[in-house]
Each structure stands twice: as C-alpha cells, then as structure tokens.
Structure 1
C-alpha cells in the first residue's frame, strides 16, 4: 500500500533568501537537483519529479533558495511544496516538487521578456563595453538609485515591490529589489558579484536588509544601493557612502553570514564614501563633502581633489558647465558656479531643496511650503 504526503517548503521566501550562493561544492546529485529546479523556474513549470536526487525537505528548500539567490530574473516565485509517496514499510518511491508563482505562466513569460529587454537597453545606454568593472558597477549603481524609488508597501505580509522587476520596470522597490536589480545588471555585464542578505540598523531600528558584494578591479567591495538612495523617497539623488565599502565599515550597522563569501578589506574607494549629491562632468566628480558639506571636485580615479567653494553646497546638479546647488551658507537659496570655481551667481531668493534638472528646467522644492517650482535655465 502506498501513502502520499505533502510538506510546505515554508523556509523559502522569495524576498528572504538566507543561504549564501557559494556555501560548498555541490555533489553531482546536488547540482542535478539545482539544475532541475532552475530549469523548472525558468520555464515556469508547476511541478517536477526529483526522486532520483533523494532530497530531504531541507535540501529542497535550501536548493530553491540557492537558485533564487543566484538568479534575480526569477522574480515570480511564490512558494513550494514537497510531495512524496512511500510504501507501508516507509520506503519513498516518488518525490515531486510543486511550485506556485505570483502570476499566470503566460503573464510571467511576457514579464520576463520585458525585464530582459529593459535590462539590455539600460546596459546599452549606460554601460560601455570598454568600462572597467569599477566603472560598470558605478554606472549600474547610479542608474538604479536615480531611477528607482524606495517603497516598503506590504501586501499579504510581504513587500509588494521588492524584486528586480519592480525596481527596473515599476521603478519602485524595497531593499531586495535594489540588490536584485544590481545583481541582474552586473551579471549581464560580466561583473562578478554576490547577493548578500542580512540585517541593518538605520539608527532607529534593526531591519532585514539586502545588498551586494561586488568584485571591482580585482578586489571585493560592498555596495548598498538602497542606502545610497538619498533620500530614499526621492529617487533622483545618489550618494556613495555605501559604495566600495569594506567589511569593517559595513559591520558598523550591517550584519550578515560571511560563510562562503570573499572578504572585503580594500580601501581603494574610500575617497568616495564622503560624497553627497555627486555629479560627473569632464572626467571629474563634483560633490558635497559629507563632513563639512562644501563643494569639491575629484577625478574619478581619486586624484586631484580640490575645493571649489567654501560655501555649504547641497542638492548638486550640472548643466552646460554650471553647478547648481542649494547654498546653505546663504539661506539655502539656489546658486550656480562654474566648474572651475568662478562666477558664483545667485539664482533665486527661496529656501530650496531637492533640486533636479529635467530638460531646460531646474526644479526645486520650496522649503517653506513644500511645493515644487521650476526655473528655466536654457
């Protein structure tokens, strides 16, 4: 007599993957199971037979986690179920894995096509093939931060927007979406990276969090695009406070399992950590220096640092050789200055925040009434 049973693989949550992708060398059976699950996910199959791999429920759950962690393009997985059949003597004769997804198969296939084509378009437009791994990572980081708005809206107990798809297509996501969008684009450009899942303390509370560990010019560094979205609800301003960061710096407010992950100890990009509101022009990065908020410029390789003005400059933007900023040494009014530090000029007489340029206009938020206005700048 045969008996059947079901076990819900409750360890598996698409937004909460806990097994690092390089935990150990897999046996042929383990790699076979991994490949079978990946194929099923990629083809949006609802059930596969895995009897020949003899997986336990824990092995099945961990393998699903490993697949999801390495493949951010599988954004649609929802849950899994372990189905087994055994004889009266207890011998298992059949094991199947059943999967449920967030959408119908036809819808998912369309979404997959959209995500893939969009990712390719982003790379073609923003990432040159001649770029170094550092330049590729920076370009991808900057795109995601400036084109994605932080959104922690929940639905049925999980984040509603928290995948590579939500970050790149819907343009809104919580931290997992930032990390998986980074991972997807880095994978496509050949930059080696790891998805890292752990916790972070934002100064108010400790929360579950995700970011990336990226190999740039031969060494590994942490990149937390979510925390570089400054502020997270604005979507236009980028910082580098968590770009190219060491294990030691991250551990001040992040925690994670280091098992299977390379160490990040190089401080080659330490010069970037104090950059706020950076803008690139003519081979230089112009930025507000975090300790004193004054306007500086530096070459992308970290040399040639120079202070442009002694005024406290925030919300930097560049247009036609002018740097526009809120001058917090002069009432928070908008000023502009030439990239060589000359011709400091007042633009308005209003406390101005959240500056950004679109087309021929400079937009800003009036700090007194919180309304948005625009100024034509040519």
Structure 2
C-alpha cells in the first residue's frame, strides 16, 4: 500500500494535473528532461531541500502546466523530502510549496533521520563489501528493525510518518512507502544506485525498489520480505533481487518507465525462507520444507545441517538454536557442522533471536517471551 503524492495546481489560468507515479530520473529511464525542464527540476529540488515556501521559474521557457509533474518527479526521487504536502503553480512562473509541518519541526525530524542514516550505514556497511553484500545488509536491517504498521493499516488509520523514512527509521513502524523510501536513502548513503518504483501488488497500491548490483538491475520488495504479523529475528528473501518476470506474478507496474531487470544470477536467495549469514556460509530454512541447510557463499555449494524442520532459528558462536518442528516445535541446539544436537526446552517456541549474549524465544502457548543467558 502506498500513499499517493498530492499535487494541487492553482494557476492564473486554471489547470488540473493528476498525480504521476513511477518517475525515475535515471540514465536508463525513458523519462528524460529537456535542458530548461532540468533547470526547473534543480530549482524545485534546491528550494524543497531548503524548505523554502516559494520559488520562481522562467514560464516563457517551460510550460507552467508541466511544473506539477516535475515537482512530483523531484519528490518521488528524493525521499529526503518527507515533508511535502502540495504545490501551487502560477502561469507567471511562481511556485508555492506547502509542507506538512513547520520548518522548525521539519528540521528536528530531519536531524533525527540524518543521524539514524549515518549510524545504520556505519554499522551495516563494512569496508570492501560487494554491491550484493551492501544491498543485503540494508535489506536485512530494515526487515529486522522495522515492523509493518499492520494494526493501523487494518483500521485505515495509517499516520503520515509511516509512509516516510521517519516512520521506518525513527518510529520503527512503516507501510511500503516507508520501507522503500528508507531503502533508497540508505542505499544512496552506501553508494548503491536504486530507484523507487510505484505500482500495485495483489490489487493494492504499492512501492518497492529497483537496485543496481554489479551493473544490473534487480527488484527488491523489502516490505514483502518482512513477515506480517512481525516475527523477530526472521528475514525472508522471496522478493530479494528478482527479475521483471519473477516479480510480475503478483506485482504490476508500468515496465516501460523503468530499467528492465532480467538477470537471474541471485535466484538461490528465493529458496531461503529464513537465513543467517555466518563465517562464509548462508544458513537457511529451505522454502520447500523448512529443512535447515547451509550454502558456501563463494562456491554456492549447499549441504544439509540437520534433517529437522526449522522455521525459526538463530546463531550464537558455534551453535544454532532452533525451534524443531519435527518434534513439537521444541527448543533445540546443534553445532554449525550439524553435530551434538540437543533438546533444551520441551515446549513449542517461535520467534527465536539473539540480543547480545541473551537468547530470546516466544512460548507459542502463552505468547510470552523468555530468555536464556548464553
């Protein structure tokens, strides 16, 4: 679900412009601007980043009827402008911007977002990481630290912040726009090219990202990789680095508006229902039957860790702690090499994750979280 960008055009000669979705100002995009339109784009971008309430363009060189579209393009390409509400364009070249908050409140929010972006990227992105590793790190951060604002979505009371980076990065709750805009901002900070994509999924308005990995584009829908209701410690990869053909099974968008994603180089991720990276391996629950496997990151060779069904697990040191769905969902542990398997708790547990040296798990029957210091 996404919140459509509002555009109101009030001009000396009255004209109405509908919201335009899916603009992506990339070299591969079919949406290119003329030199004069680019000048207006730059004026609008600078003014809005400076939180100015007005700007002026040359109405003799750019038709005022097109300025609303350019504003829309600026906003969709610049999620840092989370405070935009609407715009009024005059045929005399005047632009009046309306924002959701006062400049003082916007600057406070912006300061928090900037600090969060800096901290997240510093912790998530390590020296000499590949493009793939950077995209995965940011994808995983958002899935693990942001919860879909499901309750408000069901009640049709989603707050404005949940559509923006502030909701995802500060409140830790968002809908698809909050996820995809945060993904875009964080990837940009990490030096990865990405495009904010708008369309529909299962018949509802939706947004996600096109990311460039080693020169090729792939679709990433971080929202749909985050389980709903929220499952702590669980990251899915069903919508990580997909091609157009793979995504279009349940997503729709104007494909001609965006670069084409055709490479299936990373299809192996789509077999990982839940995955944790450790010591050069991907440890994952197989999407077909939840059997626990590991894959060598370099060779891509896979091997079975245990024959148990493992939908929930975490790793600490040389041990895997997991919910054994082949035996009542009881809490077990096994070494990374699949040896020394042992039952720890004779109760059905879910949502297993680590926080420092403490193992957390949720009792299925009571819904209460318990902990074990390791």
**Is the shorter-chain TM-score for this pair beyond 0.5, marking a shared fold?**
yes
Does structure 2 retain, via aligned residues, the 8 Å contact 1:298–1:304? yes
C-alpha distance 120-160 of structure 1, shift in aligned 2 (>3 A): closer
| Residue 60, structure 1, aligned to residue 99, structure 2 | no
Does structure 1 retain, via aligned residues, the 8 Å contact 2:273–2:287? yes
Question: Which of 301, 320, 325 is residue 323 of structure 1 equivalent to?
Answer: 320
- Please give the alpha-carbon distance, in whole angstroms, between the structure 2 residues aligned to 1:164 and 1:136: 19
Partner-residue secondary structure (3-state), 2:205: strand
More helix by share: 2
Q: Deviations over 1:116-149 (max 9, x none)?
A: 2221121111102411111110111111111111
Does structure 1 retain, via aligned residues, the 8 Å contact 2:64–2:90? no
In structure 2, the residue matched to 1:117 is 115
Does structure 1 retain, via aligned residues, the 8 Å contact 2:244–2:260? yes
Question: Which of 289, 292, 305 is residue 289 of structure 2 equivalent to?
Answer: 292
C-alpha distance 308-236 of structure 1, shift in aligned 2 (>3 A): closer
**Gap runs ≥5 in structure 1:** 85-93
In structure 1, the residue matched to 2:193 is 192
| Residue 34, structure 1, aligned to residue 38, structure 2 | no
C-alpha distance 77-236 of structure 1, shift in aligned 2 (>3 A): farther
Instruction: Show the 5 A alignment for 1:174-193.
Output: 174-193=175-194
In structure 2, the residue matched to 1:148 is 146
In structure 1, the residue matched to 2:238 is 241
C-alpha distance 370-50 of structure 1, shift in aligned 2 (>3 A): same
Partner-residue secondary structure (3-state), 1:227: helix
Q: Deviations over 1:268-288 (max 9, x none)?
A: 111110112211111111010
C-alpha distance 367-57 of structure 1, shift in aligned 2 (>3 A): farther
- Please give the alpha-carbon distance, in whole angstroms, between the structure 2 residues aligned to 1:102 and 1:345: 56
Q: Give the aligned length.
A: 358
Does structure 2 retain, via aligned residues, the 8 Å contact 1:149–1:173? yes
Q: Which segment is superposed worse, 218-227 or 234-243?
A: 234-243
How many angstroms does 1:290 deviate by?
Answer: 0.6
How many angstroms does 1:348 deviate by?
Answer: 0.5
- Please give the alpha-carbon distance, in whole angstroms, between the structure 2 residues aligned to 1:299 and 1:256: 35
How many angstroms does 1:163 deviate by?
Answer: 1.0
Q: Which segment is superposed worse, 284-293 or 117-126?
A: 117-126
Does structure 2 retain, via aligned residues, the 8 Å contact 1:33–1:53? no
| Residue 98, structure 1, aligned to residue 96, structure 2 | yes
Question: Which of 338, 342, 345 is residue 345 of structure 1 equivalent to?
Answer: 342
How many angstroms does 1:56 deviate by?
Answer: 4.4
- Please give the alpha-carbon distance, in whole angstroms, between the structure 1 residues aligned to 2:80 and 2:71: 14
C-alpha distance 281-29 of structure 1, shift in aligned 2 (>3 A): same
Partner-residue secondary structure (3-state), 1:131: coil
- Please give the alpha-carbon distance, in whole angstroms, between the structure 1 residues aligned to 2:322 and 2:39: 56
Partner-residue secondary structure (3-state), 1:347: strand
In structure 1, the residue matched to 2:89 is 82
In structure 2, the residue matched to 1:358 is 355
Does structure 2 retain, via aligned residues, the 8 Å contact 1:9–1:79? no
How many angstroms does 1:114 deviate by?
Answer: 2.2
Q: Which segment is superposed worse, 103-112 or 249-258?
A: 103-112
Question: Which of 131, 152, 159 is residue 133 of structure 1 equivalent to?
Answer: 131
* TM-score, normalised by the number of residues in structure 2: 0.90
Instruction: Show the 5 A alignment for 1:294-309.
Output: 294-301=291-298, 303-309=300-306
Bigger RCO (CA 8 Å, 6+ sep): 2
Q: Deviations over 1:286-309 (max 9, x none)?
A: 010010110000022461211111
Does structure 2 retain, via aligned residues, the 8 Å contact 1:147–1:171? yes
* TM-score, normalised by the number of residues in structure 1: 0.89
Does structure 2 retain, via aligned residues, the 8 Å contact 1:127–1:139? yes
- Please give the alpha-carbon distance, in whole angstroms, between the structure 1 residues aligned to 2:110 and 2:201: 31
In structure 1, the residue matched to 2:6 is none
